A and B are shown apart, each in its own frame.
Chain A
């Protein structure tokens, strides 16, 4: 990295003009704006000259400058460079902000290539370690939330160590992977998300939902403490050099290496503890108790019973145990238990500790760290842990040879509970609990009142404490990430780099299902073993040449080879012989399933950047990929890009006190996206046949093996998907960089989208893989940075704002159907449908007349359903925005981050099920009495057609109505908007004088909070719309008794030696 910095430094100095003759002296002190500590080694340069000085150990400097005018440029590694007009001052004290807006900031672009940010013709955003660790968020991906324009982050649930999805600038593919690739130190790592096999339901039927365990995608294995910076490459132009796999963008992670310490050693200790409490729970009613039709029932799990007015009712705890012929039964007063659900959840505790040892000198650098996160979840009995050990170092051998390596071992996993739709779902069991029943009483599930036969829902649902104690899925991940790099500089302008990256992991999952679990009464045990290996090999030739005074050429040419393989084997044993002994040998029937995949991509590329002076940059890239997943004829595909960056403030010398920087950029790029493996040849599959109602034949059947002709016709003419994107941007800064914005507009068209086109089954097949669809994305991204207040005493107020608006439209699907199913749940399908945004909901609506009034059936009194299915909205938000503000004074800093998502819908089965159960506040409307449906009509009673206002037909206001509500798909969809107080931290760094007394170089103490507040529209007060029950895949927008999100608060301490 240093080497590249030097290369950039040279021309700047050469171009400098001689210093003026008359002079004076200015002096001052450079400090860290956040901590107030002195910054030794900062550079103070008189702008446009070679005159400069470094600050000493106390952070002070002294510099000879011309008698009049002049601007100081103050810079230090890891801090935003500041320009300060000298004016008439002789003392200038400067606080530097640890920052993202460095004037000649170097960003890591594709393949670890470092480029001056200024020179890029495309949008790049970078986050530093400080940004992502400030609030001690254990999940690296979640820490991008609200901070990066153009990026949408969503989590699968509030549980610890769960799945998190990122989509950058909208989806490009209907059913393929729409997430960016993750690159750690040039190594393309796995972001595998292996969803769980269905275990709660009988085998072969159902999906993730039946065994909804929220397991992470593998990006969650990266510990944020070890990350130096994250660069988000958003468009094809930025990502083209990663090739086909980066068609959806790239998250470039650079880990700490210990460089830049200039002969020092450093030990750093970070420790944080947060308490995690459930944040958002449904708004329950507290008026009516257990039962149906207003009649109390001690054995029901719905709240359609009588008013909880203290009347005496049979005690549900002893009802099933009592002799049915006994004259007297135990009775209890029927009273509401408003916090029965909240009391079920515990206070989770997350500890996040890291210690690192690092150091560097002229020739070498090293970094060793141990980082550990462990969560005892707010869901009783569930946990998540992640421990990583990292080692990285580099050294210069001989004169021209540099080698470096990184190695990280990660162990992660935990004990997980079951979510989703099955009857062993814990959340549904808890939420459905009648409003008069105390959950925490049931903790002792061996108590005859709460055990498998005595429990009030015995035979229908299990005691949730039993489920959490007995039925856990434990995942145990071992992962090794490593890179080795050799770099050779045979000539001044030539560098050869070879890098090998390895990412190997195993994910061993064990799921135990105790005897007596509903749907698995005989017990069950699953062993799910996953192995993954990713290899990335790069061979690069870097060329830097100057042509004359004004033109510089930087070129990178090379090859890139990526191999990904996964191997999974699942043994599913049903029927435990000896209870609670979980071993496959102890199960009656074992079914084995194996899924292996392997794919390779080989790419050859060139990236040439021509710089004219230091303001006009033209970049051209070209890449050819050969991929194993396409047929021979189309296996090779080429895609180019071109970009231009023009710093007009430099070109036209427009800098002033008001205008500091201005740059226009534009690019056009295309990038291919190959299919997933094994789409070319039709295959035979081991035969299973089922009727959709849990009846099935599974081969081998009565020991006879059987394979059937697969239902999907392959396609020997398949080719790569292709996304072509245009992007334009304007970046400007004013008032000596105290106000700046970066505005981007982009438009992309993805075509040849690979789809399994449905074909008539009478052809002998049900689908054919084909290049069929087309989809567009266009959007605006805005990043705004401001320092409204910056006082001499060191007080500063910084503001950062991001805005993202992406418009997506599916323009073509297939010539057979206008829609392709992307996912779905219940009555509402998720589709790619022509003319709609990707991810549109399709289902039933209530019937309405021409004026939009609901049509009531005059006989039943219920709203009628529209027989025509329609599009009911989509998952795409109108916009995303984030705002963060930092107030700092000397060592004290307050940082607050809000983020919001406005628009879009989501399907909540939690809400619709709780309507059904009469548990939510709305279900007490109209006192559960028949009511006149507001603004409704009935068919004209004279039979002449049309509708007349409904003045007399009453609608049942109780169970039947609320059951009816959910039959219309539209009534299960809710506004997905939210505003979150995502992070808040108040930190205090002790002054250097105090710190040095205890022989340390830094002590910082912080109070931290995450997800402290959530605001949703009044129409949706029940669940956190950000959670999604179906993991990190494309089937987004469905919430089905997902674990609620949590609010975390705590404290952290950082010590540096």
Chain B
């Protein structure tokens, strides 16, 4: 019996194969579908595309609505609540704030920094830091206090604290400085095509990143003009001083616009185009912007807005009022006595011809191109050359820039660049710059000059950078926002920030650091003191 049992044991042992086999047998849990490691040059473009998609997509849309560039078209319900100032905490959560930017783009940039630093990949690390700073700038301008110093640490800190916005701003300046000095080390691989913004393959290309970082620094300093003018001034003066010897003070040059280039192939098109192509007729041009363009006789009007009845001349523009619910002015008649079928939608440059096909096949409206390709491949603009000129103009007007910076020259260069983007001729631009609402000479006072700069920047952001447009409107209160016809916030209140999303409210107890009640959209962020 006993010997038999021993024999049994031996047989069992053989069958088991002992622990030696266990390794081969059981070490098969490496995911064959997804890599467990990835080179930083695969992760860098992922972060760039993700951030651009969100900033140029949903945050662009909400910004455009809140900056009163766009309103809600008849029958368009997708964004009506935003237009009427109802932005619940479920908005912009997984796909934007938490999953899209923090756990998406920012985590990707953080990975490039974490993995690139020990490998001395200073070029890509520097780029990642600049990108991270830009993404954080967009987030904090929209949300105010957010996790920054303890964020993106994974399981080391699953509930990062909420930093004060002023600390974040200081941190972003430091981060940009780090990025600049990392690039200055001239070490590591050039990202080349893996850099979807500048495709930096040479040292000269890398300098575009440095110039972007400087321009971003200027944008960040100027944002504090109302809350901390002294600090902003000191920072800007130091920035100019540091780059005194460089051409253009090492700010962005004409061909340097920070943008994400889109394609015409399916699922690579401009995110704003995609949204409007796939959910047509949701957005129409807002009366706040439209009336301004009409008043200024802005040559961009027929580019920005479509004729309301999509017929040939004369052009009729019907703009939607903020918060407008019903009735829509579709019973308006045009000057020729025809019924206007729709409001003025954003121009084909932005949303292509999709909706004209649906609503008015065979339209002869001259602005409609035969193809959607330009709208599809239109780049997502994140910080343009025209904005950089207008930022410098503002610094000059405020007297924070060295004497070499001529405010008028910068302003006019900025406006011209903005017009050129939409194919406006030099002659038309010159005419435009002479109009009383635009002319620098006519402005007279620094306050009026600042207003010129701000309004031109606001117009230039149309349909391309809503988040920055809304942010700058909040800082400058220029132009004045119109009270929405239906205001679900009530009491003449305006949206001053986006609400913290549900996932943070539910999962991160540190959100109580902010002192805000869930769903608060009316308390201004730190720099918004006007």
Contacts and interface: CB of A to CB of B under 8 A. Distances in A.
B159 A763 contact: yes
Contacts of B268: 697-698, 701-702
Contacts of B373: none
A558 B26 CA distance: 19
A652 B97 CA distance: 72
A766 B266 contact: no
B481 interface: no
Interface string A361-398: 00000000000000000000000000000000000000
A541 to B, nearest CB: 6
Interface string B165-201: 0000000000000000000000000000110100000
Interface string B106-126: 111011000000000000000
A649 interface: no
A763 B153 contact: yes
B50 A761 contact: no
Contact of B107 (A677, A683, A709): A709
Given A709-B43, A760-B159, A764-B110, A689 B102 contact: no
B102 A541 contact: no
A760 B49 contact: no
A680 B30 CA distance: 9
A788 interface: no
B108 A708 contact: yes
Given A626-B22, A684-B43, A762-B98, A689 B58 contact: no
B12 A557 contact: yes
Interface in A271-297: none
A602 B12 CA distance: 13
Given A604-B16, A710-B34, A761-B99, A599 B263 contact: no
A87 interface: no
Contacts of B104: 689, 708, 711
Interface string A584-596: 0000010000111
B78 A762 contact: no
Contacts of A574: 266
Contact of B103 (A598, A599, A765): A765
Contact of A763 (B16, B26, B111, B154): B154
B194 A707 contact: no
B49 A684 contact: no
Contacts of A704: 45, 193-194, 196
B95 A691 contact: yes
B453 interface: no
Contacts of B31: 677-678, 681, 683
A695 B57 contact: yes
Contacts of A685: 34
Interface in A498-543: 539, 541
Select the residue from B16, B34, B146 with max chain A CB neighbours within 10 A.
B34
Contacts of B38: 684, 707
Contacts of A697: 49-50, 53, 267-268, 271
Contact of B42 (A599, A703, A705, A762): A705
Contact of A695 (B25, B158, B194, B275): B275
A689 B108 CA distance: 13
A816 interface: yes
Given A203-B267, A677-B29, A691-B275, A760 B503 contact: yes
A690 B95 CA distance: 7
A701 B45 CA distance: 9
Interface stretch (A114-122, A219-227, A627-635, A721-729): A627-635
Contact of A707 (B43, B193, B271): B43
A762 B507 CA distance: 10
A768 interface: yes
Interface string A807-828: 0000000001100000000000
A683 B33 CA distance: 9
A696 interface: yes
Given A684-B34, A764-B110, A629 B15 contact: no
Given A557-B8, A684-B43, A708-B43, A761 B25 contact: no
A202 B53 contact: no
Interface in B136-171: 146-147, 151-155, 157-160
A263 interface: no
A762 B261 contact: no
Select the residue from A496, A589, A697, A765 with max chain B CB neighbours within 10 A.
A697
Contacts, number: 237
Nearest to A631: B29
Contacts of B160: 760, 762-763
B266 to A, nearest CB: 6
A694 B274 contact: yes
B16 A678 contact: no
B507 A628 contact: no
B408 interface: no
A762 B102 contact: yes
Interface in A761-790: 761-766, 768
A759 interface: yes
A310 interface: no
Interface string B33-56: 111111000110111011001100
Contacts of B503: 758, 760-761, 766
A689 B107 contact: no
Given A707-B43, A763-B154, A766-B503, A695 B271 contact: yes
B136 to A, nearest CB: 11
Contacts of B27: 628
Interface in B509-529: none
B8 A764 contact: no
Given A680-B29, A696-B267, A763 B157 contact: yes
Contact of A604 (B12, B506, B507): B12
Given A604-B16, A628-B26, A695-B275, A760 B111 contact: no
B57 A635 contact: no
A737 B193 CA distance: 82
B226 interface: no
B274 A696 contact: yes
B28 interface: yes
A713 interface: yes
Interface string B262-283: 0101111001001100110000
Contacts of A599: 28-29
Select the residue from A597, A685, A687 with max chain B CB neighbours within 10 A.
A687
Interface string B462-486: 0000000000000000000000000
Nearest to A708: B46
Nearest to A629: B29
A761 B97 contact: yes
A678 B153 CA distance: 22
A711 B28 CA distance: 22
A600 B34 contact: no
B504 interface: yes
A684 B271 CA distance: 23
Nearest to A490: B4
13 contacts: A594-B33, A604-B12, A626-B26, A691-B271, A698-B267, A705-B45, A707-B38, A708-B104, A760-B98, A760-B158, A762-B146, A765-B154, A817-B507
Interface of A: 202-204, 491, 494, 496, 539, 541, 557-559, 574, 589, 594-600, 602, 604, 626-630, 635, 677-678, 680-687, 689-699, 701-711, 713, 758-766, 768, 816-817
Given A691-B274, A713-B154, 16 more contacts: A202-B278, A558-B12, A559-B16, A694-B279, A696-B274, A699-B45, A699-B49, A702-B265, A706-B45, A708-B46, A708-B107, A763-B151, A763-B154, A764-B102, A764-B152, A764-B153
- For the complex of A and B, 3 pairs with smallest distance between CB atoms: A761-B98, A695-B274, A760-B508
Interface of B: 4, 8, 11-12, 15-16, 22, 25-38, 42-43, 45-47, 49-50, 53-54, 57-58, 78, 94-95, 97-100, 102-104, 106-108, 110-111, 146-147, 151-155, 157-160, 193-194, 196, 261, 263, 265-268, 271, 274-275, 278-279, 503-504, 506-508
